[in-house]
Amino acid sequence: MTRAETRGETPRAPRATSAPVPGAPLVAAQDRLAGSEPVAPPVVRGTVAGGTVVRARRSAGRHRARALLARWVPPLLLLAASIGAWELWVIVRRPPAYVLPSPGRIAAAAVDAAPGLPAHTATTLVEAVVGTAAGALAGVAVAVLIASVPLARRTVEPLLVASQTVPMIVLAPLLVLWFGLGLTPKIVVVALIGFFPVAVSTAGGLAGADPDLVDLVRSMGARPGQVLRVVRLPAAIPAFFAGLKIATAYAVAGAVVGEYVAGDRGLGIFITRSSNSFRVDRVFVAVIVIAALSALLYGLVGVAARRATPWLPPTTKERSR
């Protein structure tokens, strides 16, 4: 028997070259990651006729644009309608400006506050980002500890939950007492808020790694540290990002709470001062900035999550396209 025969070249050839089947989802996956994923296209692509790929990509691009419209138009319409109703309400009922300013007045206040706002925003942003990063780092460390040392799970886990029952409003003044008036107490507040969801979520991801995969690498003689690195940590990445998203959603608000207690710069300070001088329109401006910052950070974490998990297959919806 010749080598070619034993290889079974003939029977397998149709499988290997019928690339349109594996190729089609690849194009979708590639588009999903477009702009965020610098990896070279999978080799499979080379087997697809060039024209097919280009056409598929172009139609996928149009599809994307339509999907984007479908996603953003309804919420924007709703937002516009709400603002219109609000404006109308203020015109009809004429509440005092220190109770409910009109959207127009808030816009004017925003223009008015524009020179001072960036510095406040920057301070709050730094506190939120540094605090979340610190909290997430600590959260991952505790999660790894819980996942690798059974004794740690039994001792640390109940304390973790208990620690979350202390309200931040109570803790913040103490933190100022301990850490002074600078950025530190605010960063600590944000870190404490972010720590919990990251720790719990990541610990769940580490523990939930496919036990068969763990067995597989153990059968290859992997040591516990290698099992952690090769199986558990990668398996926990989606869960880590789920926790980080929650942490991020609360981070800016947490920094503002910290600033309420003491400080000389930040959106919390801006709100306190505005509120003390009955400038409710300015309070609204700050609230909008806080919401926008939170949404921005949240979106960035989403992008980071997708970049960190290029191996995840496209969702069922994307795949059926």
Partner 1 sequence: MRPGRAADPPPQARRPPAVAPVAPESAAPDAPDAPESAAPDAPVTAPVAAPVAADVDVRGLHHTFRPHGSREPVIALDGVDLHVPAGGFVSVVGPSGCGKSTLLRVLAGLLVPTGGTATVGGEDVRGRPGHVAYLPQRDLLLPWRRALANAVLGAELAGVPREEAQRRARPLFERFGLAGFERAWPWELSGGMRQRLALLRTFLLGAPVLVLDEPFAALDAITRRAMYAWLGEVWMDDRRTVLFVTHDVDEALTLADRVVVLSGRPGRVVTEVDVPMPRPRPATVVTEADVVERKRTLLEALGG
Shortest Å distance, C-beta 152 to partner 1: 23
CA end-to-end distance (rounded Å), the chain = 45
Determine contact, residues 247/135, Cβ cutoff 8 Å. yes
Binding mask 125-164 for partner 1 (x = CB under 8 A): ----------------------------------------
Residues 233-272 that bind partner 1 (CB under 8 A): 234-235, 237
Residue placing its CB nearer to partner 1 in the complex, 108 or 237: 237
Distance between CA atoms of residues 269 and 275, nearest Å: 10
Alpha helices in the chain (DSSP H): 3-7, 9-17, 20-32, 50-93, 103-113, 117-148, 150-163, 168-179, 184-207, 211-219, 224-227, 233-261, 267-276, 280-308, 316-319
Residue placing its CB nearer to partner 1 in the complex, 47 or 155: 47
Shortest Å distance, C-beta 140 to partner 1: 17
Q: Is 168 in the site for partner 1 (CB under 8 A)?
A: no
Shortest Å distance, C-beta 141 to partner 1: 21
Choice from 35, 62, 93, 311 touching partner 1 (CB under 8 A)? 311
Q: DSSP per residue over 71-90, as a string?
A: HHHHHHHHHHHHHHHHHHHH
Q: Is 12 in the site for partner 1 (CB under 8 A)?
A: yes
For the record, the structure tokens of 27 come out as: 């194009």
Binding mask 198-237 for partner 1 (x = CB under 8 A): ------------x-xx-xxxxxxxx---x---xx--xx-x
Distance between CA atoms of residues 68 and 78, nearest Å: 16
Binding mask 30-69 for partner 1 (x = CB under 8 A): ----------x-xxx-xx----------------------
Judged by CB under 8 A, the number of residues near partner 1 is 42
Shortest Å distance, C-beta 201 to partner 1: 18
Determine contact, residues 25/42, Cβ cutoff 8 Å. no
Residue placing its CB nearer to partner 1 in the complex, 46 or 74: 46
Residue placing its CB nearer to partner 1 in the complex, 16 or 288: 16
Secondary structure (3-state) at 311 = coil
Choice from 61, 84, 224, 310 touching partner 1 (CB under 8 A)? 310
For the record, the structure tokens of 236 come out as: 């926990």
Ramachandran class of 35: left when φ > 0, alpha when ψ lies in -120 to 50, beta otherwise: left
83: nearest Cα among 286, 284, 274: 284
| Helix H or strand E encompassing 45 | none
Query: Which positions touch partner 1 (CB under 8 A)?
Result: 1, 3, 5-8, 11-12, 15-16, 22, 25-26, 29, 40, 42-44, 46-47, 210, 212-213, 215-222, 226, 230-231, 234-235, 237, 309-313
